[in-house]
Amino acid sequence: MRCMNVLCRRRGVVDPDEHETAAIAAASPMAGEYLESIGKTDLAMLSEAEWLTLLEVVVTAYQDELARRLDAERRPGSPGGRP
């Protein structure tokens, strides 16, 4: 993440907050599972369809984790929610 943070600062992108960092962490294993399921680890060897599916897997997992965290914050008494 350190290299990414340097690159992002140069381009004016804000560092990820704790929720975004957690969502990235949640999406990473999903990407690995997908790549394992198709038996490929070299991204340059993915077909266009495989690449698009990988992106969909990552973006969906990222969004799902952000939504889960937002829902938890909004529900009093829930894990991660307000007391």
pLDDT at 81 over 60: no
pLDDT tens profile 60-70: 999 999 999 99
Contacts of 34 (CB under 8 A, 6+ apart): 53, 54, 57
pLDDT tens profile 17-48: 899 999 999 999 999 999 999 999 999 999 99
Q: What is the pLDDT of residue 61?
A: 97
Cβ(22)–Cβ(63) under 8 Å?
Answer: no
This prediction has a pTM of: 0.72
20-21-26-29 Cα dihedral, nearest 10 degrees:
130
Q: What is the pLDDT of residue 2?
A: 58
Q: Which ranges constitute the DSSP H helices of the chain?
A: 2-10, 18-38, 48-74
